[in-house]
Amino acid sequence: MNSKMENFKSLLTDVGISVLSITVALLFGVFFILLTEESPATAYEALYFGAFGNFRNILNTLWRSTPLILTGLAFALPYRAGLINIGAEGQFLMGGFAAGVAGYYFTSLPAIIHLPLAILAGVVAGALWAGLAGWLKAKMEVNEVISTIMLNHIAVALTINYGINKLRTSTRMATPQIMESAKLTRFKEMADSAFWSKLPFVEVFADPGIRLHMNFVLALIAAVILWYLLFKTSLGYEFRAVGLNPDGAEYGGINANKTIIWTMLIGGAVAGLGGAGETLGTHLSFMAGMDAGFGFTGIAVGLIGQSHPIGAIFGGLLFGALNQGGLEMQFAGVPSEIVNIIQALVIFFVASLQIIKIFMKNRREKEGVE
Amino acid sequence: MDTLLELISLPLILSSFRFATPLILAALGGIFSEKSGVINIALEGIMLFGAFAAVLGSAQTGNPWMGVLYAMVGGVLFAAILAIVSIVFRADQIVIGTGINIFASGITIFLLQIFFNVKGTSPLVPRLPFMRIFGVRFSVLTYVSLILVPVVYYFFYKTHWGLRIRSIGEHPAAADTLGINVNRWRFLSVLMSGVLAGLAGAHLSIGDGSAFVREMSAGRGFIALAAMIFGKWHPVKAFGAAMLFGYAEAVAVRVDFAFIPSELISAIPYVVTIVVLAGFISKSVGPAASGEAYVKGDR
């Protein structure tokens, strides 16, 4: 009868926990800033200005959020089904590498085919890399935490150590530059493009400092698709049922193995899209170090978004803002590593504060008995 | 043929010990934590922080042994985060472990700037003594790790304390019924894993070298985790696995293969771990009764 009310309450708890965690993490950050003998107010002002100070900074915050939204989704979806995907890092690398190779290997394709093909290569590579972990879990009972950690390192060896060394044509630790036809449209170049320049407002993006590209839009679309999948389809219902109660779901006729493999495949596909976007939109080649820990930060993004696809957008924006603003903080004399510390603290607090939910549930159950 | 001879050459085998040292120490640490029922994927981060703390201690006091002490204390501090958050707040251990790893990589670079005013590599600090055998350097911590293997084995399989920790990891409710304070033992075990992973870090920075380099643990914490799993959570078997992985690292560094790219050799421990977990090796090797004498009429 009161299920709407209950849902709203639980949403409020989730948002409350996230906001509280961020606040407490920023407060702890003050302590670390004080160690640098700089003023925390100046540091946080710089952080804020760097992230939201002007139009360019805001767009660059969106740019930095893009891979994080996607790796956040890659964690969130399997988490809903009770799986812990630590492997977004490796899936991201495989996706970025596959997209990079597809981006430079085909030399005479029109953009309308080449770009989707390169993106698809990244998505499929990411999906297969995660699907492997899903298959190992479903068929061989290999714990997905361990297998995804191991697959991360194998991916580094395959793509960065071996792949780049094999394919690079200069001293730069990167695969050859991708073709023009495989580039994801950058917002700053929209005014020059035959297609996008028809839009009336594209001149506002014509600032060479703006690095935002179309993968941000794709990330938002991916989040909405995952939200629809998870909450509006029967497949999504099965995912969530397995996550809430695996035995009950199995008893109810849901094939848990299918869920494991599908959630991992989809999660990996999204992480692969993140890698493909960084290759095709940001670096224009697959570059060593371009993963930059996105896979692991994605865990924090997924958690702060309470494993909700739309929550992952907000989580990604928050962490993107921290990364973008961190640079400005660095100029103000405070090491940008403060940002990593704050991100880790957010993880600790979000994870710890879940206990509030346990208490609330216990209280509700007690009240129910009386 | 030359390659083959090189693979069994004495310097190569001896240097495996050097590469295996941090793996052995951290794997033993992982065993402490996991035997008590706490998954510790933070070994990587704890090791990294231990490596930094060791350099800090050595630089501040001029005494590398103080560096070792700092590393152990630093390891305990980091492990305490895992212990408090996962035992008191009942948070997801995997998530916390990942958080600690991010925390370690951020805070070590941060503190590098605070204490040494550099971003990448710390200045050189006094290092631990070492002994050369056939030209290969062995840090004191290599010997320590070799001594600790039987000690940890003895602890877990021949003492009451070890039995308690194992029983907690297997069946906490039963252990609780017997009057064992589950959470206190878990707490101690996790802290102990911090001590050992911290030591592993000290080996990296002041045992095997004399400086801290950012991200210098470079996945060794995860390889140690792999060694622990490959060794089925048994100290002696984990030691064997760590030696195998150390050997793989030595091979990757020292031997040039014509047929396998050396970049891929470094991935061997990770592939082996997956293969072992999937049961491709242990399930197919040896029937269940192997090693048991056949006695007529015995059931």
Least trusted range by pLDDT, from A126-130, A251-255, B227-231, B262-266: B262-266
In tens, the pLDDT along B11-26 reads 788 888 889 999 999 9
Task: Determine the residue type at B163.
Answer: L
Least trusted range by pLDDT, from A9-23, A54-68, A190-204, A209-223: A190-204
Confirm if B33 and B39 have CB atoms less than 8 A apart. yes
From the candidates B46, B86, B95, which should be mutated to test the interface with A, based on the most A CB atoms within 10 A? Answer: B95
Instruction: Evaluate whether residue B48 is within a structural domain.
Output: yes
Gap between the Cα atoms of B114 and B217, Å rounded: 20
- For B260, which residue in chain A has the nearest alpha carbon? A162
d(CA A363, nearest CA chain B) in Å: 17
Find the CB nearest B274 among A32, A147, A358.
A147
Instruction: Evaluate whether residue B89 is within a structural domain.
Output: yes
The reply to whether residue A166 touches residue B100, judged by beta carbons under 8 angstroms, is: no
Nearest to B188 by CA among B50, B76, B74: B76
Instruction: Evaluate whether residue B95 is within a structural domain.
Output: yes
Instruction: Evaluate whether residue B239 is within a structural domain.
Output: no
What is A53-86 written as a DSSP string? SSHHHHHHHHHHHHHHHHHHHHHHHHHHTT----
Give backbone dihedrals phi and psi of B217, rounded to 5 degrees, phi first. -70, -30
In tens, the pLDDT along B167-180 reads 888 888 888 888 88
Nearest to B44 by CA among A150, A210, A57: A150
d(CA B21, nearest CA chain A) in Å: 20
Instruction: Evaluate whether residue B75 is within a structural domain.
Output: yes
Q: How many CB atoms lie within 10 A of CB A50?
A: 25
State residue B218's pLDDT score. 87
Gap between the Cα atoms of B71 and B219, Å rounded: 18
The reply to whether residue A150 touches residue B107, judged by beta carbons under 8 angstroms, is: no
The reply to whether residue A149 touches residue B41, judged by beta carbons under 8 angstroms, is: yes
In tens, the pLDDT along B134-188 reads 777 788 999 999 999 999 999 999 999 998 888 888 888 888 888 888 889 989 9
The reply to whether residue B263 touches residue A355, judged by beta carbons under 8 angstroms, is: no
State residue A351's pLDDT score. 85
d(CA B78, nearest CA chain A) in Å: 12
Confirm if A137 and A143 have CB atoms less than 8 A apart. yes
Find the CB nearest B274 among A86, A136, A352.
A136
Find the CB nearest B89 among A165, A344, A355.
A355
Tally of domains in chain B: 1
Q: How many CB pairs under 8 A join A and B?
A: 140
Q: What percent of chain A has pLDDT over 70?
A: 99
pLDDT at B221 over 50: yes
Confirm if B147 and B230 have CB atoms less than 8 A apart. no
Q: Give yes or no for B264 touching A (CB within 8 A).
A: yes
Per the prediction, chain B carries an average pLDDT of 85
Indicate the burial class of B193 (C-beta count within 10 angstroms; 0-12, 13-18, 19 or more).
Answer: buried
- Per-domain residue ranges for chain A? 54-369
Tokens of A138: 């479903």
The reply to whether residue A150 touches residue B273, judged by beta carbons under 8 angstroms, is: yes
- For A355, which residue in chain B has the nearest alpha carbon? B89
In tens, the pLDDT along B281-297 reads 554 332 232 223 333 33
From the candidates A97, A352, A357, A359, which should be mutated to test the interface with B, based on the most B CB atoms within 10 A? Answer: A352
d(CA A2, nearest CA chain B) in Å: 29
Residue A317 to residues A97, A153, A325, B58, B144: CA-CA distances in angstroms?
Answer: 25, 27, 12, 41, 47
Gyration radius (Cα) of chain A, Å:
21
Find the CB nearest A348 among B85, B226, B266.
B85
pLDDT at A25 over 80: yes
Confirm if A128 and A275 have CB atoms less than 8 A apart. no
Tokens of B144: 């320590």
Gap between the Cα atoms of B50 and B107, Å rounded: 12
- For A151, which residue in chain B has the nearest alpha carbon? B270
Least trusted range by pLDDT, from A114-118, A314-318, B252-256: B252-256
Q: Residue A140: its chain B contacts at CB < 8 A?
A: 277-279
Helices B182-202 and B160-170: crossing angle in degrees, nearest 10, is 110
Q: What percent of chain B has pLDDT over 90?
A: 43
Confirm if A297 and B102 have CB atoms less than 8 A apart. yes
Q: What percent of chain B has pLDDT over 70?
A: 91
Residues A18-22, mean pLDDT to the nearest whole number: 89
What is B204-244 written as a DSSP string? IIIIS-SS-BTTTTTTHHHHHHHHHHHTTT-HHHHHHHHHH
Residues A50-78, mean pLDDT to the nearest whole number: 95
Confirm if A100 and A132 have CB atoms less than 8 A apart. no
Nearest to A313 by CA among A47, A55, A18: A18
- For A147, which residue in chain B has the nearest alpha carbon? B274
Instruction: Evaluate whether residue B292 is within a structural domain.
Output: no
Q: Residue A345: its chain B contacts at CB < 8 A?
A: 103
Gyration radius (Cα) of chain B, Å:
20
The reply to whether residue B41 touches residue A145, judged by beta carbons under 8 angstroms, is: yes
Q: Residue A354: its chain B contacts at CB < 8 A?
A: 89-92
State residue A2's pLDDT score. 63
In tens, the pLDDT along B113-131 reads 989 988 888 888 888 888 8
Q: How many CB atoms lie within 10 A of CB A12?
A: 10
Residues recorded for chain B = 299
d(CA A84, nearest CA chain B) in Å: 8
Tokens of A139: 């068929």
Gap between the Cα atoms of A320 and A215, Å rounded: 14
In tens, the pLDDT along A140-187 reads 888 888 899 899 999 999 999 899 988 988 888 899 999 999 999 888
Per the prediction, chain A carries an average pLDDT of 90
Q: Tell me which residue has tokens 């048991």.
A: B292
Highest mean pLDDT among A247-251, A270-274, B103-107: A270-274
In tens, the pLDDT along A334-369 reads 888 888 899 899 888 888 888 887 777 777 777 765
State residue B26's pLDDT score. 96
From the candidates A37, A84, A146, A304, which should be mutated to test the interface with B, based on the most B CB atoms within 10 A? Answer: A146
Q: Residue A143: its chain B contacts at CB < 8 A?
A: 277
Q: How many CB atoms lie within 10 A of CB A4?
A: 8
Instruction: Evaluate whether residue B34 is within a structural domain.
Output: yes
Gap between the Cα atoms of A174 and A171, Å rounded: 8
Q: Residue B41: its chain A contacts at CB < 8 A?
A: 86, 145, 149
Find the CB nearest B94 among A35, A86, A300.
A86
In tens, the pLDDT along B44-55 reads 999 999 999 999
Find the CB nearest B102 among A36, A335, A340.
A340
d(CA B102, nearest CA chain A) in Å: 6
**H or E segment at A360?**
helix A337-369
Nearest to A150 by CA among A214, A73, A75, A87: A87
pLDDT at A3 over 80: no
Instruction: Evaluate whether residue B295 is within a structural domain.
Output: no
In tens, the pLDDT along A83-136 reads 989 999 999 999 999 999 999 999 888 989 999 999 999 999 999 999 999 999
State residue A193's pLDDT score. 76
- For B99, which residue in chain A has the nearest alpha carbon? A344
Tokens of A290: 């371009």
The reply to whether residue A297 touches residue B271, judged by beta carbons under 8 angstroms, is: no
State residue B169's pLDDT score. 83
Residues B196-201, mean pLDDT to the nearest whole number: 96
Gap between the Cα atoms of A246 and A74, Å rounded: 20
pLDDT at A190 over 50: yes
3-state secondary structure of B106: helix
B215 Cβ contact partners less than 8 Å away, ≥ 6 residues apart: B48, B105
Task: Determine the residue type at A107.
Answer: T
DSSP secondary-structure letter at A204?
G
d(CA A200, nearest CA chain B) in Å: 43
Tell me which CATH code domain A54-369 carries: 1.10.3470
Residue B47: alpha-carbon gap to chain centroid:
8
Highest mean pLDDT among A188-197, A238-247, B6-15, B77-86: B77-86
Q: Which domain holds residue B107?
A: 22-217
Q: Tell me which residue has tokens 């170049």.
A: A189
Gap between the Cα atoms of B36 and B187, Å rounded: 9
What is B167-208 written as a DSSP string? HHHH-HHHHHHTT--HHHHHHHHHHHHHHHHHHHHHIIIIIS
